[in-house]
Structure 1
Amino acid sequence: MNDQPVAYLDHAATTPMWPEAIDVMTAELGRLGNASSLHASGRASRRVVEESRELIAERLGSRPSEVVFCSGGTEANNLAIKGLYWARRAQDPHRRRVIFSSIEHHALLDPVTWLAKHEGAAIDMTPVDAIGRIQVDALRSAVAADPASVAAITTMWANNEMGTIQPIDEVVAIAREHGIPVHSDAVQAAGYVPIDFAARQLDAMTVTAHKLGGPVGVGALVIRREIDAVPLMHGGGQERDIRSGTIGVALIASFARALDLTVQRQAETAARIERLRQRLVDGVRSIVPDAVVNGDPDSGPNHRLPNIAHVTFPGCEGDAMLMLLDAQGVECSTGSACDAGVPQPSHVLLAMGYDEQAARGSLRFSLGHTTTDADVDRLLAALPAVHERATRAAHVRSS
């Protein structure tokens, strides 16, 4: 690789921290005092945490008491779905069903399947259409079949591979008819579309800092005070006794600053990134005419996130293209999972109706607040040779 800067196009995996969030975290790392201690240093740390909680709540449209800090999106999703399931089943043993979409992130998909294997949950997967949006009629039918047996419904706000935004309002409306709690994984959505927890009438919602220009290692489960959830961990009783553990003051303060900046700049950033994404998509199509851009073609808070372009390259292996691009200083993702080092086709694309070959031949380019025209230019400059080599290699393997 030459000495040019890397074109980082994997912001959906993690995005660089805002400089201001780094400054806040750096300053707070020098602070002494456990936020649960009663002395002056402890009270000062607690003040930072609670002021951060108030700011995060304001930016997410919730009450401060509804923000429960944890280590990130995976923990928040586990706490939400397992906690709701255990609490609801304890109230009524008949409530054993968990309804979830077929395109959930593994941070939600795996806890749900764990509940089925270890806790006797009956899991019901809602199908999606060809652009990756859940089929609301199928969800309605699944609930109507036996609403009293449903412990919880979970549907991500926006898909991490396609960027497709889900019909959260319709999901909530169906659940409300039967008093079923709804959780949404908003990890990808929070950075690029307006989020209002109260207005959407959700019962629980997951967010994480490192997708917003904050640090890795902190996130939040926003959960209504009226909702019971059994904790995963037991200890000091921090965070409403839902999530025990010593509070990371510096992480939380940096999280709050990053979210604040993200929301302030969201409209401007989204418009700029959508323009860059369109340049990228147009360029890819001109270089590889048979490339297929997946997901909703329209952008906006009811359609698609502005920062994700998911592309299938017929006749190519996505993993090969990823490594060839990486060698040219372009970093992206296949969007697929790896199990014990063996590449697996994306479960999202399979759920959308793609066959395994197409699912294996796809790349996700995700943009963020640091993405520039130069990043897009570098991808487009590298793509012709990379595509040619990947096509030739795939042809050799298949012959």
Structure 2
Amino acid sequence: MGAEIWSSDDGFAVHETSDDGFTGAFVAGTAAAAAAAAGDLLCLKAAGSNNLSAMPDIAQIFDLLQIYSPWIYFHPDEPYLPSSVSWFFDNGALLYSKENPNSPIGIDSAGAALPQGGTNDGAYWLDLPADNTAKQRVKSGNLSAAESYIHVKPVLGGSATDIVFWIFYPFNGPARAKVFISISLGKIGEHVGDWEHVTLRISNFDGKLQRMYFSQHSSGKWVEVADLEFADGGRRPTAYSTLHGHAFYPKAGLVLQGEVEPGIGVRDDTAAGGQRMDAAARAVVAAAEYLGVREPAWLQYMREWGPKVSYDVEKEIGKVEKILPRKMKSGLRRLVSRLPPEMLGEEGPTGPKAKANWNGDEVS
């Protein structure tokens, strides 16, 4: 029997105990009874990290998609909509290499010619078409061609299923700030190849939706079922995509990221009234390791989906400052000093399989 955790004057005591394969347990009772019980205490232990017997098969996955897939709402002013990966490739996306940076090559619909596996070593990256007309068209995306790429995985020891909906946007627009008034931050925040996601957590005991995760830039938020909004009075939750940046929120409205003081922050604007996407209509089960689902070739591309971006922050902020009074200028400077690195210049974003949450839990 291990150390005493707590005891009372009448002889009742709680002692810690442990076995060779468990993280810890405790036994409570009178001091004498606790001592006797601790020696023969039996602990239940999971046979493995995940029990997959309760996980949904492929037919059940599609049933769940029809019941719970979210409706994704885009801001009425959103110019940068999602597309399918194949549409992006077919409309002129290019693969660049560090070895031959001036000789990009086209990409087939399936991405079969993309480098497969490995790690993000900076040797390859994707970019928009070289032709300016084609570039502008691809930046806008194509909602009618957009697909949701589904990753199904066991969680909580196999007692629940996470269904992850990955959405691809060819382009992420510039950031917008609120410094008492709304202002554009120039090119800051722009990048090629934006991957965003939401996750449904479903109980394997009763098949009911438990909670939903909304990715928001480099992290996100879990929201309980009672706090979700449901589309058209049904069982399918809503997800609102922010203007330009495509972070997801459970309800429409304005959220200020990185507030340096009340009323000064980066705007995350969502609103109803724009276009919407049925995440079930063009759902592709891209990965479910426990079922051995054949994964698309592009999913094995572990490098960057856009080129390295870097901005002359002083130049971009200088343009904005010209229209601001002195008090607002100081607020803008404080805000920019706290912007995350990904907004000021970074390597291009990686694809879903290179994200930390692919094999782990969501980042909150």
Could you say whether these structures have the same fold, taking a TM-score greater than 0.5 normalized by the shorter chain as the test? no
The structure where strand makes up a greater share of residues is 2
TM-score for the superposition, normalised by structure 1: 0.22
Name the TM-score, length of structure 2 as normaliser. 0.24
From the CA coordinates, give the structure whose radius of gyration is larger.
Answer: 2
Choose between structure 1 and 2 for higher RCO, CA contacts under 8 A separated by at least 6 residues.
Answer: 1
Between Structure 1 and Structure 2, the one with more helix by share is: 1
